[in-house]
Structure 1
Amino acid sequence: MFPQQLTDSRAFRIAQTLLDGFNRHYRLFREASAAAKQRFEAADWQGQQRAQRERIVYYDQRVDEAVERLQTELKAHELPMDVWQQIKLHYIGLLTNHLQPELAETFFNSVTTKILHRSYFHNDFIFVRPAISTEYIETDEPGSLPTFRAYYPTRETLRETLHRIVTNFQLQREFEDLDRDVDHVLRAVYQQFGEVRFRTNFQIQVLSSLFFRNKGAYVVGKIINGYRETALAIPILHNSKGRLYIDAALFGEDELQMLFSFARAYFMVEMEIPAAYVHFLRSLMPRKPRSEIYNALGLHKQGKNLFYRDFLFHLRHSSDRFRIAPGIKGMVMLVFDLPSFPYVFKVIKDFFPPQKDTTREQIQGKYLLVKQHDRVGRMADTLEYSNVAFPYERFEEELVQELQHYCPSLLEISDRDGDGKTELILKHVYIERRMIPLNIYLQEGTPEQIEHAVVEYGNAIKDLVAANIFPGDMLWKNFGVTRNGKVVFYDYDEIEYLTDCNFRRVPPAPNEEAELSGEVWYPVGPKDIFPETFEPFLLGNDRVREVFMRHHADLLDPGFWQGHKERILAGHVHDVFPYDAGKRFGPPHSHRKAKTERPAGEPVAT
């Protein structure tokens, strides 16, 4: 119950200190995102990757700063609960005209749960539901851009409008031939819409900031023609001579979903009002949860908050029980799911078999590496939570027994609130999008599906190679198939940077007895990899072997791996295309090949 009066003078000061901490966080977040434009113009690809890694940890740094200040200066951890009720009410008042209220509420939750040592879903003094609406937030401050620009072309001026859309972003780098590229986009628009009549309210709405990721900049918007709305994205790249060109035009929800996939790195976008960007993007991708859109924009803490709210809502409106996830059980992770919910829950075991020489801390480090790395559409994003309470009665007994056996240090079963409702509490858990394990897909697939999946598997590994990632355990069971048929890696406990590995050929056996013994006759260092030895583990099925050898035999050649390692060490950053190669514009130019197939030995993510 909230107090009738705001009587404690400390409450407002703490609320203001909390908001100051958030404002500092979002100012730094915006500065890093805004600087992506200069890095793109300068072709500073290593700087872009470094900034993306650094930005991810900004939030936790600012939370820790706020906790330290509140505890040291204001003794916040000693305050009674009625003061914390007043703090929340003051904070709500401070957010009335704030431009990022939903993010500020999440920041409040992050700080207060650290101070109060409570799980936020049991805490009366945090924002379980949003208190401030994010609808129709706008600002009239001088120098502020609107969320989107609207253009109203006629058929006669559509080409001029497309040209103006691109030039309005004022990129400080010359285009190779913008007129040519606009003609490509114009033809793509007519191919998409046909010879339709332009309705009275025909318009193109474009978000005011470019979306930067890897080596690309993306114009994102939609075309409105009468009652029809079609998502639009235009990727802008550098050619080999440092000039810009438009590489493709993407239309519709499915192609935007690929661009904003959960298996790709976060965008860098300069946003004053993030909720307005999320609302606009949701109009382009109505099937995509708001949590995933916040994640894609680099606001992963807000994404986590919204995901958890959606999860609690789903629990209230479902009755099935958590179970051990189908498939081969992992040696490092215990994986379970809820059949009606499209995600899996992963808990690090307390002990591992002898062949897994690792620790909990090392595994958590691998997952952090993936969070901070360019996932190139081939590594699933992971949400990490602490102290998650589940209703005990929703767990199958077999799963409870597995958790008690493998993860006792992370498990608590209790009635914390004294209300007679038993909870199963996990002190640390990862949550990932559920996919069909590739080994199961290959067992059950048609010949056509098997061929597609094996080709995709090899492409996934080559895309990881392009991103400086060696997956470690390359077994089929560690990859999944998405609903769009894309193969994605999701088991990270053995990944390494490619540049940290030493790829070697198996030396000849000294004699026939050594070759037939099955024992290793050559010295093996801790980071030595022998690609020739992949074959017995991966290619036991004749049908799989035939497809693999036809498309990806180079993966068994140490020269393939070592060659790409050397290129990365030399500073090369591969292009990554989050769309079909067939979408790229032709005819071919000097700076790019028109092939839609991957050249031998050249990993190009598509």
Structure 2
Amino acid sequence: MNLSRTIAKKILKGFNKHFRIFTEITSGAQARFESADWKADRLASRHRIEFYDSRVKETVNYLKENYDTRPETFDQDCWKKVKGHFILLLQNHQQPELAETFFNSVFCRIFPIEFYTNLNIFLRSSVATEYIDSEVPTYEAYYPANTSFFRAIKLILNHSPLSIPFENCHRDCRHMAKSICKYMKNDNRNADLNFQFQVINALFYRNKAAYIVGKAINGHNEYPFAIPLLNNEKGGIYTDALLIGEDSVSRLFSFSYAYFMVEHPVPSAIVSFLQRLMPQRKKEALYSSIGLHKQGKTDFYRGFLHHLDYSDDDLILAPGIPGMVMSVFTLASYPYVFKLIRDYFAPPKEISRQQVEEKYQLVKRHDRVGRMADTLEFSEVLLPLNRFTEDLLKDLESTCKSSIQVVENHKGVKQLKIKHMYIERRMQPLNMALEEAERKGQFDEIERLILSFGDAIKELCAANIFPGDLLYKNFGVTRLRRVVFYDYDEIVYLTDCNFRKIPAPRNSQELMAAEPWYSVGPNDVFPEEFARFLLGNDYIKAAFMKYHADLLDANFWIQKQENIKNGIFEDVFPYPQKYRLQREVSDQ
């Protein structure tokens, strides 16, 4: 067989194995949900993230063992043909865009950056994914005019493949019908001739919920919706809420949540449907949200390179207080920040580069409960040197010298090669948001931000996460005014901490001493001390004490630790309590 075709087939075989295992783990979400096995669900989510790199490594090792893959003997003509054969193999493939990304991963693990051209890898996709055939339709349509409004809602709720019954389906249908009518009445709409519901032909599983996702179409208007189904852990399920509107549904797909498990043979069809529901969510974010974060990374990079070609603003140091561990820069016209680990950390930081990288991996694998920003990790990135401001270059050269190198491309254009960096959504630092609100006299906004700040800490606790450094500068505010944690160098598992009350001084000498009069272990945390650096502002203090005074009490934290140790997984809902539907006491 032709050498280039053999290599192409081997790479595709590696991808097919990856996607088969990915699908097997994803398909198990239904059984885990039905049995309320939340511990297994978290474990499966973590494993699914790790399997991609394992399959890439397997394929790379095979190619290195069986073919000459030394960079110094790189055969341009051969690899150009490998890519050509790979494209032909994708003609009837149902996940061609994912296979292209797998091809890129394999190639980039073998060869250095100077070979990363569109001749050898897929800098641009070679396939269209709009109309890929599938035995499983992307969505089902329901027409109230053909069945009745109530009957259409019942069909939607019972369309799912779940084998456990609703605890009270009639009640849930009634709640749905009432909420939909109320929403459409507020929008001054009656049912038009084309009134219909379109529902994605797969459930979206995450944490303790399974979501029905779709949209209502009425006239020229479309209304995205999501229906969270919860397990009552007594052999039944129930609808917990009805989320209607782009913002409500978009929040479910935020970059701060863990990835959904969605089983469908054509992921591009699911992403396309979701993008029509949420036009503000880019394709890369939606791929990531359904667990295909490597594809999200690919689409992000393609979009970023395109943006660089069609913009001329400079990369600048990110606004806010500079971090001790990361140098952070941004492009004003692009809503992301770029983070490089500094070469050294000034005291009192006592952490290594490897430990910082491990912290970021922890966040990637862990349940982020809507309160930790997802990151994209890149290696060997080339950016045009002339887009960096002088101040930014000076900062990078003085603090991140081991991570950067000035090189020239084949056209003689100077570029900055970045060996390793993280990319996150850009948010307004919480400290700046609070300062802005006070400056404008927006004291209600201060209260909302502090309420969300405390909620973020409590929800992270429920996921066994202690942020370590609670300073406001380490939290950001999203477009939907939600507070999210994004500085991970001091993050630890909550159960690894030793929360203590400060012992009372035994005499006046201890009270007046410059140093603590009590012993302090390496994992000791004294919640009473939080007030010293969090509550210096009267407006902030009033809001904090109103909603979150319990965060200053060691007993609060100790109780959270006990819950986790006893296998109690607290409910953390990705939607406000006011959206939750009423259940009769007899059903609970």
Report what 1:216 is aligned to: 209
For structure 1, which segment, 468-477 or 72-81, has the greater mean C-alpha deviation from structure 2 after superposition?
72-81
Q: Tell me, in whole angstroms, the C-alpha distance in 2 between the residues paired with 1:588 and 1:581.
A: 17
Give the one of 133, 149, 168 matched to 2:140: 149
- What's the offset of the Cα at 1:485? 1.1
Amino acid at match of 2:378: Y
Match 2:370 to one of 371, 374, 377? 377
Q: How far did residue 227 of structure 1 move?
A: 2.0
- Mean Cα deviation higher: 158-167 or 334-343: 158-167
Q: Which of 161-170 and 397-406 deviates more? A: 161-170
Q: Distance in 1 between matches of 2:508 and 2:250?
A: 55
Which of 71, 89, 98 pairs up with 1:94?
Answer: 89
Query: Which one of 127, 134, 137 corresponds to residue 122 of structure 2?
Result: 127
1:451 aligns with 2:447: yes
Query: Are 2:528 and 1:532 aligned?
Result: yes
Alpha-carbon separation, structure 2, partners of 1:393 and 1:323: 12
Residues 1:589 and 1:74: Cα distance change in structure 2 (over 3 Å): farther
Question: Which residue of 2 is the match for residue 336 of structure 1?
Answer: 329
Question: Given residue 434 of structure 2, which amino acid in structure 1 is its aligned partner?
Answer: L
Match of 1:432 among 407, 424, 427: 424
After superposition, the Cα gap between the structure-2 partners of 1:400 and 1:109, relative to the gap in structure 1 and judged at 3 Å, is same
Preserved contact between residue 216 and residue 236 of structure 1 (Cα < 8 Å)? yes
2:518 corresponds to which of 522, 532, 555: 522
- Superposition deviation, residue 152 in structure 1: 1.8
Q: How well do the aligned residues superpose, as a CA RMSD in angstroms?
A: 1.5
How far is 1:429 from its partner? Answer: 0.7
Contact 2:316 2:329 in 1 (8 A): yes
Return 237-246 or 285-294, whichever deviates more. 237-246
Cα distance, 1:548–1:26 mapped onto 2, change above 3 Å: same
The answer to whether the 8 A contact 1:247-1:584 is kept is: yes
Query: What residue in structure 1 maps to residue 184 of structure 2?
Result: 193
Q: Aligned residue for 2:494? A: 498
SS of the residue aligned with 2:265?
coil
Instruction: Give the match for residue 561 of structure 2.
Output: 565
Name the structure 1 match of 2:102: 107
Amino acid at match of 1:535: A
Aligned counterpart, 1:267: 260
CA distance, structure 1, for counterparts of residue 169 and residue 115 of structure 2: 52
Counterpart contact for 1:204–1:224, Cα < 8 Å: yes
The aligned counterpart of 1:83 is 78
Equivalent residues in 2 for 1:298-447 (5 A)?
298-417=291-410, 419-445=411-437, 446-447=442-443
The answer (yes or no) to whether the contact 2:248–2:575 under 8 Å persists in 1 is: yes
Deviation sequence 1:142-182 (CA, Å, 0-9, x none):
xx321111122228612112112222213122221011011
Distance 1:219 1:156 in 2: 20
Stretches of structure 1 that go unaligned for 5 or more consecutive residues are 1-7, 593-606
Q: Secondary structure, in 3 states, of the residue corresponding to 1:380?
A: coil
Change (3 A) 1:70 1:561: same
Secondary structure in 2 matching 1:342: strand
Larger displacement relative to structure 2 (14-23 or 165-174)? 165-174
C-alpha distance in structure 2 between counterparts of 1:413 and 1:281, whole Å: 40
Superimposed CA distance per residue, residues 173-214 of structure 1 (whole angstroms, 9 cap, x where no aligned partner): 222101101110111111121284433322211111100000
Letter in 1 for 2:315: F
- Partner residue in 2 for 1:595: none
Residue aligned with 1:124, SS: coil
- Equivalenced residues, count: 580
What letter corresponds to residue 565 of structure 1 in structure 2? Answer: Q
Return closer, same or farther for 1:76/1:14 CA change in 2, 3 Å cut-off.
Answer: farther
**SS of the counterpart of 1:514?**
helix
Alpha-carbon shift at residue 511 of structure 1 (Å): 2.1
Amino acid at match of 1:440: M
CA contact (8 A) 1:216 1:237 kept: yes
Using the TM superposition, give the Cα deviation of residue 121 of structure 1 relative to its aligned residue in structure 2, in angstroms: 4.9
Give the direction of change, closer, same or farther, for the CA distance of 1:425–1:79 in structure 2 (3 Å limit).
closer
Is the contact made by 1:204 and 1:221 (CA closer than 8 Å) also made in structure 2? yes
Q: Verify: 1:245 aligned to 2:235, yes or no.
A: no
- Equivalent residue, structure 1, for 2:507: 511
| Alpha-carbon distance in structure 1 between the residues aligned to 2:11 and 2:116 | 20
Q: 1-side partners of 2:576 and 2:163: how far apart?
A: 28
Distance 1:223 1:67 in 2: 46
Name the CA shift for 1:196/1:443 in 2 (closer, same or farther; >3 Å): closer
* Pairwise CA distance, 1:123: 5.4
Match of residue 160, structure 1, among 151, 157, 168: 151
